[in-house]
Structure 1
Amino acid sequence: MRRIIASTYTTLDGYIDNPHEWSLQYNDERAQKHAFELTLGADTLLLGRITYEGMAQAWPTMGGNPYADHVNSIAKYVVASQPVDTDAWGPTTVIPGGDLVETASRLKRQDGANILIWGNGRLTDDLAAAGLLDEYRIWLYPVIKGQGRPLFRPESTAPVALTETVTFESGVVVLTYRPTTA
């Protein structure tokens, strides 16, 4: 069975918005290799609408390197309750919000590689609550932002178990957690 992995960049004080403004200078060669291997292990991206729309502005113009070429070629599913321009970054399929659990269950049962989520929000909360999220990969950056969009929300409550820690020379630490039952 395929695994659903949520991979998210966060500041030391727990904010996830606008990572392009504070993360890039810390992506040393080993961190880039780690991210590339995680991405190569997936053949599907599952994204919330806001994340998809932000990524669709940048990724289609990237290419010519193995990482971007892989990301641009894999299937993308966007969970949305309002219209989404799927022509902006294909191949993309829209999942109506009410169909998330059923669709994610079906995707997990299909043959293929892992399903990767970029970001952490209602999508990951809903999947975790349904028992479908297999792993959180929290990329902790040595940055204190002071304010922004938090990594977790009040409704994100769930027990987790630390399964792996990877530290890079740049100060970035990747913490891998598996959701557990209470």
Structure 2
Amino acid sequence: MRRIIASTYTTLDGYIDNPHEWSMPYTDPGAQQYALDLTLGAGALLLGRITYEGMAQAWPHMGGNPYADHVNGIEKYVVASGPVDVEAWGPATVIPGDDVLGTVEGLKQTGGGDILIWGNGRLTDTLATAGLLDEYRIWVYPIIRGGGERLFRAESRAGLEHIDTKTFESGVVVLSYRVSAA
């Protein structure tokens, strides 16, 4: 059975928006290798519409390295209640918002590597509550922003079991938690 892993960058004070503006100075070879290994273990991305549309503006123009080539080549599943331009960054399939639980449960039963979610929002909350999200990988960056979009929302609920901690030279720490109960 495939695992669903939510991999999210956050500041030390718990904000996740616009990581391209604050995460890059903390890139180091160990963190890059960890990200590559996590990504190469994934056979698909599962994204909300907003995340997909943001990524679709940049990723199709990247390539020439194992990370970007793999990300661009794997299937993307986009959860959306309305139309999405899946031609912008394919291969991509839209999962209707009202069918997300049944479809994701079916995807977990297929082969092909882990399913990776980038970001943390309503999609991860929905999957965690339904018992379909297997793991959080929370990349904590040594920076304080003081405001923005929170890592978790007031309605977020999940029981967690700590399974691993990785610390990199840059000060980035990846905290891994298995979702045990909603």
Which TM-score band (shorter chain)? over 0.9
Percent identity reads 72
Q: For the aligned residues, what is the CA RMSD?
A: 0.8
> 2: CA distance between counterparts of 1:111 and 1:33?
24
In the alignment, is the contact (CA less than 8 A) between 2:129 and 2:181 conserved in 1? no
Residue type at the aligned position of 1:165:
T
> 2: CA distance between counterparts of 1:141 and 1:180?
25
Match of 1:174 in 2: 174
Match of 1:130 in 2: 130
For residue 83 of structure 1, report the CA deviation from its aligned partner: 1.2
4+ aligned runs moved over 3 Å, structure 1: none
> 1: CA distance between counterparts of 2:128 and 2:2?
15
Residue type at the aligned position of 2:146:
G
Match of 1:25 in 2: 25
Match of 1:163 in 2: 163
Match of 1:141 in 2: 141
Match of 1:95 in 2: 95
> What secondary structure, in the 3-state scheme, does the structure 1 residue paired with 2:63 have?
coil
> What secondary structure, in the 3-state scheme, does the structure 2 residue paired with 1:8 have?
strand
TM-score (norm 2): 0.98
Gaps of 5+ in 1: none
**C-alpha deviations, 1:32-55, integer Å up to 9, x for none?**
000000000001000001100110
In the alignment, is the contact (CA less than 8 A) between 2:128 and 2:157 conserved in 1? no
Match of 2:108 in 1: 108
> 2: CA distance between counterparts of 1:177 and 1:116?
14
> 1: CA distance between counterparts of 2:13 and 2:127?
24
Matched length: 182
Match of 1:13 in 2: 13
For residue 180 of structure 1, report the CA deviation from its aligned partner: 1.3
**C-alpha deviations, 1:51-110, integer Å up to 9, x for none?**
001100000000011110000000000001111110100000001111110010000001
> 2: CA distance between counterparts of 1:148 and 1:114?
29
> What secondary structure, in the 3-state scheme, does the structure 1 residue paired with 2:155 have?
helix
Match of 2:76 in 1: 76
For residue 181 of structure 1, report the CA deviation from its aligned partner: 2.7
Gaps of 5+ in 2: none
> 2: CA distance between counterparts of 1:131 and 1:139?
22
TM-score (norm 1): 0.98
For residue 152 of structure 1, report the CA deviation from its aligned partner: 0.3
